[in-house]
Structure 1
């Protein structure tokens, strides 16, 4: 990659043109754009600032993903505990129904 170019424009024909940047992969096109005077290459400070901002954004995204994963894990734990409690209650109801059925059978045999 040849580098990142920043459009600075030509005040004579583009007053107030906004700055824009883009990567120019072609070395020859990179040099031609620099020579035109409409572009400048990214400075070392700008490179460091861009990389630091990218790292910070990545860290923020990872932190957010971590918070989401932690929240989803807590919700899954809660759902599992609710399902376990419901299964235990159903098992207890089944035992109770079996006991009632057995008691009714004993009464019916006498």
Structure 2
């Protein structure tokens, strides 16, 4: 079987998974409330930036962001969207880990560098 065929099957499996279908339902529900959607996107943008910054105390920054957005995160639509998004992200991370673990790319040089 060609890798392209396997990739097509994987894409179909992900797209038809309960996790992804749940995420799509949550995304559609949230889209019905543009102001809530805007707030969620703002929170996600800030969270992403924190995770990709160097030289900060990640835990303090995340705690601060969690406090700042605590009120909107109590909303059931937002909670469902964020929870379902997290499940999809974990699924994709697991796929990535499995692929990386199955291929010997000899990445030991990364252990010796400061990234």
* TM-score where L is the length of structure 2: 0.29
User: Which structure has greater helix proportion?
Assistant: 2
Structure number with higher relative contact order (C-alpha < 8 Å, ≥ 6 residues apart): 2
User: Structure 1 length as normaliser, TM-score?
Assistant: 0.30
